[in-house]
Amino acid sequence: MTINQIKYIQGTVEAPTSKSSFIRHIAAAILSDFDNSIFYKNKNNDINSAINVGKSLGKYIIEDETNLKISGKFSLTENEINCGESGLVIRMFAPIIALSGKNFILNAEGSLLKRTTENLYNSLENFGINSFSKNNFPPVNFSGKLKNNNSKLDFSESSQLFTGLLFALPLVEGNSELEIVNLKSKPYIDLTLDVLSKYGIEIENKNYSKFYIKGNQHYKGISAIVEADWSGAAFLAVAGAVGGKIRINNLNEKSFQADRAIVDVLRQVGAKLNFEKNSLIIEKNNLKAFEFNAEDCPDLFPPLVSLAAFCEGESKIFGVSRLYNKESNRALSLQQEFGKLGISISFDNNYMKILGGKIKSATVNSHNDHRIAMATAIAGINSEGKIIIENSEAVNKSYPSFFEDFESICKY
């Protein structure tokens, strides 16, 4: 993909469907004994991976361009399930599939084959599930049947396995009381609990430190509308803030999605923005450097690096440790690729420091990381020359229409 010199940004864009929300709705529909309909704007590779898991669990799934219908009984029909390249799917669905009581294998593709599972599934032993993987990488073998337990669990690496437990434990016999320490990405737990409540599942959250889960609950059938994605919209919002003026439609201002925090950062740097119903309007302004803690929203690092590149001075983002086991080593990938563009990135303990400056022409590589591809595309705004992005098709993981949407607001 070649990004030619972009003079300014102007136009209106529809935000893509949230894969975080969509995959949670798919999980709930899989666990329901009733018919469910899920309405959406678009799909991506990670969502398709979750759909494939549903089919492996005996669900009858009908797909069209804007509606997913899920029916049938939960029953594991395949002992090896391909989770594609989705870290959320391979983590979240492990305890859900373990409800079957059958042995199974979770396999992966692409960069997920290189993302370590070391210590990831150890906490499942408390719930009767054993796991094994060669050299701590997928595929991962599981045995046992999920059962209730009262446990103290550490989720400092990721909250995605915990999300899977929150989906699965309401269906086991007996209640569970979980004491959680070092919980990361609390907004994603809020999103999980919000989706669960829509399907009639009740979980008591005591300040994110204790969760009370009643067993023998039942998922009801609903007709759900998946909200738009703040993660993808963050890149578009940054484009507006650094390059002109845009409107992003179909965004929930009160969303539980962690990456809604991009609004707070844009206000901090001085961008002009306001909401009109479900539309976010962003306009360019003189931008100052910022400091932000991204531990609860690590997916914001790439768009924030793009933003920092256009800010005057040195910006600091906390939470670099959350980036080491993503689609790439995202911290080093950002440093390497933005370095090619003339932007200096350094690390100080758990901080990433970005010095704003002029973007120069270069050939960069996405490292097969969708968010690196999108971040380097945004850097093309007011650059000194064209930017060539190798492996740009990585955007299909989360936002297949990104380049078409981005092109629609670019003025040359």
The residues that are catalytic are 299
What CA–CA distance (Å, rounded) separates 297 from 319? 9
Distance (Å) of CA 408 to CA 12, 236, 373: 8, 11, 17
What CA–CA distance (Å, rounded) separates 358 from 39? 42
Helices assigned H by DSSP within 244-329: 262-269, 301-309
Which helix (H) or strand (E) segment holds residue 373: the answer is helix 370-378
Give counts: helices (H), strands (E), the chain: 11, 24
What is the three-class DSSP state of 344?
Answer: strand
HSE at residue 291, side-chain half, CA atoms within 13 A, is 2
Please count the other Cβ atoms lying within 10 Å of the Cβ belonging to residue 287. 21
Strands 176-181 and 150-154, by their bridges, are parallel
Which helix (H) or strand (E) segment holds residue 37: the answer is strand 36-39
In the chain, the amino acid numbered 245 is K
The pair of structure tokens assigned to 255 is: 């969303």
SS3 content of the chain, % helix, strand, coil (to 5): 35, 25, 35
DSSP string, 172-228: SSS-EEEEEES---HHHHHHHHHHHHHTT--EEEETTTEEEE-SS--PPP-EEEPPB
Residue 31's nearest CA partner among 205, 222, 182, 204 is 222
What CA–CA distance (Å, rounded) separates 165 from 214? 12
Cβ burial, residue 268 (10 Å; 0-12/13-18/19+): middle
Please count the other Cβ atoms lying within 10 Å of the Cβ belonging to residue 223. 11
Distance separating the N- and C-terminal Cα atoms of the chain:
16
